[in-house]
Amino acid sequence: MKAALEDWLVLDAAAPSTDEPLRTFLDGAALGDLRLPFCTNGHPLDFDQGRCEQDGSSDPPVWESVPSQATVIASIVMHRIEKTFVKALVPYPVIEVELVSGHRLYVSTDREPALSYQTGDEVKLTFVSVGETRIPRIQVEEHNENRSGQ
């Protein structure tokens, strides 16, 4: 397992709680493994989703490792400085991605990006350290090779 970069964007105070429903996700992230919940019939679930929207099942989720490849669904650039949690002093991206597993996550990048992200861009997630916690971010160096709109 390679060491995670220190996050360029948020302060350690912004580290997520390691309580449920994120515990299994964060335990996997600590090992460099992207683990996400599925219903017992294999449909993707949100972290705190109690009932599958696709089949109505309400059994406890099954957590599985998923590939880190994703597609950008939406992207904005945030021009807000929030000194309590954000250490970046430049505008930063907030990006919704859909993983090949069907899960959607809101992420940023593992470092300040040179280019903006467009809907349809293919990206790969990696992990950065925020305090004692690892969280997923888009791996910037993968971005330039996989542009959809340019």
pLDDT digit string, tens, across residues 52-71 = 999 999 999 999 999 999 99
Q: Please report the pLDDT score of residue 10 as a whole number.
A: 95
Q: 80 Cβ partners below 8 Å, 6+ apart?
A: 86
- Among residues of the chain, what percentage have pLDDT more than 70? 93
What are the residue boundaries of the structural domains of the chain, listed by start? 5-146
Task: For the full predicted model, state whether its pTM sits above 0.85.
Answer: yes
CA-atom Rg of the chain in angstroms: 16
Predicted pLDDT of residue 143 = 44
The predicted structure's pLDDT at residue 20: 86
Closest CA to 73 of 11, 27, 138, 6: 138
Dihedral (CA of 47, 51, 54, 55) sign:
positive
Where the chain has pLDDT below 50, the residues are 142-143, 149-150
